[in-house]
Amino acid sequence: MLDQFEAVETAATVAEPPRRRRLRRTIGIVVAVVLLLVIGSGASYVAFLNHTVTTNVQHAALLPTPGVDGAGDVPAREPAAKGAQNILLIGSDARAGLAGARSDVIVLMHVADDRKSVTLVHFPRDLYVSVPGHGKDKINAAFAYGGSPLLVRTLQGLVEVPIDHVALVGFDGFKDMTDAVGGVNVYAEESSNSRGFAFHRGFNQMSGAAALAFVRERKQLSEGDISRGRRQQAFIKALMLQSLSKDVLANPLKLAQFVDAATSNLTVDDGFSVADLRSEAISMRNLRGKDIAFVTAPFTGFGTSPSGASIDLVDEDGMKALGQALRSDAMGRYQDVTHTP
């Protein structure tokens, strides 16, 4: 097969200068050999991916430990949601456990019991909530006070839903994952021009650097942090869809690059094993755009805290409805009632 490859390549490049022809041939042979090894040895390829994930993914105590972190009982889930998963995604420039770090992205990913839909619930970082042991404060202050365990306790108290796992992703991870899949096509609700990138309303093809600028912008957006949260959701959806596309899954080299990028800046809770990560990824391989929905945690408006900080006011009744929908794995009905797109 290599001889056939060389013959075809030589015929196609006979008119090229000798040096360029040798370079093309060398690159072509390397690629051909890699593909042959991958296609001809699926078990070795899977072992390679497993080794990459096992080596890269860091584990930490991201969930509260009863009796240690001051945590009480975990909220119960209803029988209808027995197989559903609630995974907290935290985006931050800081590594797990770094004192005083703030969480810039707080998204609760609800994976339905039948694995046919995923709902991304964005919690605005200025949402004014009760933080265990610290009174009322912005929700992202919980991460600064007590890291992921305190943020989990804060959210579980807010929506009364068990959080099964936590994934802490550094922003470099978002950038590298985007570049590994060849960029993502993200829908922007409104235009902005900052950090060297211009985004128009509608779909925008983005590199990793552009995607970071997109999800970090808030000053130019009509609703500030709320609008930024919707941008973060749109980006996460686009990245999920691209990573689950045939363009990535059927391309051994691109898949390997994505797996490496996705896990190099990833820290998960101690109970989230590599086997669990792989199982969840496989279970969601058939998801399409219509199967992934956005929800913003309900709030009634904006206000000012006693200390003078700008805050988002919680819609108490709306939050109860959201919690009930999560507990009973009924996010589809919740979206119908709230007219969530």
Cα–Cα distance between 203 and 189 in angstroms, integer? 9
pLDDT at 49 over 90: no
Cα–Cα distance between 138 and 127 in angstroms, integer? 5
Give 114's pLDDT tier (boundaries 50, 70, 90). Answer: very high
DSSP collapsed to 3 states, 4-53: HHHHHHHHHCCCCCHHHHHHHHHHHHHHHHHHHHHHHCHHHHHHHHHHHH
| Residue 33 structure tokens | 């050999």
pLDDT at 76 over 50: yes
Q: State the sign of the Cα–Cα–Cα–Cα dihedral 144, 148, 149, 151.
A: positive
Q: Give per-residue pLDDT as tens, 192-241.
A: 998 889 999 999 999 999 999 999 898 999 988 889 888 988 998 899 88
Q: What is the CATH number of domain 59-338?
A: 3.40.630.190
DSSP collapsed to 3 states, 62-105: CCCCECCCCECCCCCCCHHHCCCEEEEEEEECCCCCCCCCCCCE
Residue 55 to residues 48, 243, 313: CA-CA distances in angstroms?
10, 20, 42
Q: Give per-residue pLDDT as tens, 9-27.
A: 444 444 556 555 555 555 5
Beta strands per DSSP E along the chain: 58-60, 85-92, 105-111, 118-122, 128-131, 135-138, 165-170, 184-188, 192-194, 197-199, 202-206, 266-269, 292-296, 299-304, 310-314
Give SS3 for 56: helix
| Residue 51 structure tokens | 């080794």
Cα–Cα distance between 120 and 296 in angstroms, integer? 8
Distance of CA 235 to the CA centre of its chain: 9
The reply to whether the predicted model has a pTM over 0.85 is no
Cα–Cα distance between 111 and 244 in angstroms, integer? 15
CB 293 within 8 A of CB 278: no
| Residue 68 structure tokens | 């240690």
H or E element that contains 335 = helix 331-338
Which residue is it, tokens 């902005």? 192
CB 237 within 8 A of CB 178: no
Give 334's pLDDT tier (boundaries 50, 70, 90). Answer: confident
Distance of CA 119 to the CA centre of its chain: 12
Q: Give per-residue pLDDT as tens, 228-283.
A: 888 988 998 899 889 888 898 888 889 899 999 988 888 999 999 988 988 888 88
